Chain A
Amino acid sequence: MEEREVVVIGAGPAGLSAALEAARSGAHVLLVDENSKPGGQLFKQIHKFFGSRDHRAGVRGIDIGTQLLEEADALKIEVWLDAEVCGIFNQRDVWIVRNKEKSVNVRAQRIIIATGAVENSVNFPGWSLPGVMGAGAAQTMINLHRVLPGFKVLMVGSGNVGVIVSYQLLQAGADVKAIVEAAPRLGGYGVHTAKVRRAGVPFHTSHTVLEARGTDHVESATIVQIDDKWQPIPGTEKVLDVDTICIAAGLTPLVELAFAAGCEPLYSPLLGGMVPWHDASMRTSIPSIYIAGDISGVEEASTAMEEGRMAGLSAAHSLGYVAEQVYEVGFKAAEQRMLALRSGLFGQKRRDAKAAIMAQTRG
């Protein structure tokens, strides 16, 4: 069996930041990702990120990813790509399948799980027709593979993902016919909704998709107004001429590995559902396992990077790599930056939800 001090699972912004911090502290790190390219979500984010300059806001997501990778290169961090983690046993042993053919076990003293999140689906008649897809899938098609999923799009969901992907579909040359939102108010940041609105995309609040029609692919979508009990109001149906329906109905933390390893679960609807319990240092109920990023609650790349740094620093500290005083200063600083990111109208709820998780003692 191979042995490493720290194994980081997932090379998105959280995993990359965790690996960098642990390696900088002196630990020997192995970073694994099932994709053939590292970077996680960052490589399809062609837009400039909001957030603070300390978190590289104003820089395009894809360029943040490139910067993190260059730092990982400079620190000579060992990276395994096309390496899928299929299980964690005995709180230490990471079972990895490399290149879909070779099974490897790596014994790790510390494990940091940063597997991100998966898109939620919405079911309606016709939802299995080709042309119905997750907004994230559409984003991967246009920005990574440079293929337009369709020409006339209905977006379901007005959160930041829905509006940003709508904007990128317009940039790629598609026509976004409408964005529907079941709630009475739009979810995404106003600066993002304003961008697509002035490009002529109409929003329909208190609306949902009723059905998709078509023989072998989507040829039209019916949307309908809903009342305050979320029931369709008869007579308000509208048929839209679209060939693509993108679903942006939120994300759910990708927690299977953590739970199969035995990490204690906790329900946090605001953060996307079941998440592993963790403390402020990002340690789970299993002392050798840490988490960071969307798996610990769906937020943003900026918070994912902070949590990653925190997890990397804490894991290295627990292995004796970081002097007590240095750790205290680093810990406090990371905590402060996270509080700042979770402030204001949009952040306060996440701040409360995170505080509620940490208020419970486990381990």
Chain B
Amino acid sequence: MEHTTSDDKGLKVSGAPNLAELHASPCYQLPAEDRRALAAVIECIEGIPCNPCETACPQHAIIVGDEITNLPIVDLDKCNGCGICVAACPGLAIYLKKHTFKENLAYIAFPYEYVPLPVEGQTIRMVDRLGQDVCDGTVLRVVKIKKNDRTAVVHATYPNGYYEQVVNMQRLATD
């Protein structure tokens, strides 16, 4: 893309958080490689006045607390990877991840609000936080339940060498 630079100057310049910012925030916890279950990963590091993630979680695994501008924190021991928070978050700042789904494949479930939607089995291109093309992914399923209020959640696998880098997929062409 003509004007995309590979700038990674952080949230307030490039628009996306870089790894240094994420690692410095208590909000961001990448599930350990040996974790069996999927877990919610939150990239909401600014302390904005917002809390639907907390109220949506049936396991009470996400805590914002009384001060609505606290950072949302996931208790990984309580999170069962159900994915309800993924569609509930208006910032589309939550996804589910697991390092080893099988062999060398990682698993991700991310929010997606564009048409057309991908379909099961489709090969998609996975992107990083700057929207840069990273690798191929394979769609496992696309969840469109009514409760998610028109935010689809796409489940996909991709090579786990890119475990932390990948956060979403490239938009599909309209025609």
Interfacial residues, chain A to chain B (CB-CB below 8 A): 47-53, 57-60, 158, 170-171, 173, 177-179, 184-186, 189-205, 238, 240, 340-341, 343-347
Contact = CB atoms under 8 A, between A and B. Distances in A.
Q: How large is the interface on B (under 10, 10 to 19, 20 to 34, 35 or more residues)?
A: 35 or more
Contact of B52 (A53, A197, A346): A53
B90 A50 contact: yes
Given A190-B44, A198-B128, A198-B130, 6 more contacts: A50-B52, A53-B52, A173-B174, A190-B11, A191-B90, A192-B91
Nearest to A343: B69
A37 B89 CA distance: 29
B157 interface: no
Given A48-B149, A200-B4, A343 B13 contact: no
Majority DSSP secondary structure for residues of B touching A: loop
Given A194-B15, A197-B130, A58 B90 contact: yes
Q: Which of B5, B15, B129, B170 has the most CB of A within 10 A?
A: B15
A186 B15 CA distance: 7
Nearest to B129: A198
Interface string B137-159: 00000000000011100000000
A191 B168 contact: no
Nearest to B42: A191
A309 to B, nearest CB: 18
B56 interface: yes
B4 A344 contact: no
10 contacts: A47-B90, A50-B48, A50-B91, A58-B56, A186-B12, A189-B48, A190-B15, A191-B93, A198-B16, A343-B69
The 8 closest A-B pairs by CB, nearest first: A344-B69, A191-B91, A58-B52, A197-B15, A200-B131, A48-B90, A193-B15, A185-B12
Contacts of A341: 49, 68
Contacts of B92: 191, 195
Given A53-B51, A173-B174, A194 B17 contact: yes
B127 interface: yes
Nearest to B50: A50
A201 B49 contact: no
A58 B88 contact: yes
A119 to B, nearest CB: 22
A171 B128 CA distance: 19
Contact of A50 (B43, B49, B131): B49
A201 B90 CA distance: 19
B69 A202 contact: no
Contacts of B15: 158, 179, 186, 190, 193-194, 196-197, 201, 203
B171 A199 contact: yes
Contacts of A192: 91
A339 B97 CA distance: 36
Contacts of B168: 198
A207 B44 CA distance: 26
Contacts of B174: 173
Contacts of A343: 49, 67-69
Interface string B104-142: 000000000111000000000001111100000000000
A85 B12 CA distance: 42
Nearest to A178: B3
A292 B57 CA distance: 33
A191 B44 contact: yes
B35 to A, nearest CB: 24
Nearest to A48: B90
A49 B89 CA distance: 9
B63 interface: no
A270 B12 CA distance: 20
Contacts of B5: 202
A205 B5 CA distance: 13
Contacts of B49: 50-52, 340-341, 343-344, 346-347
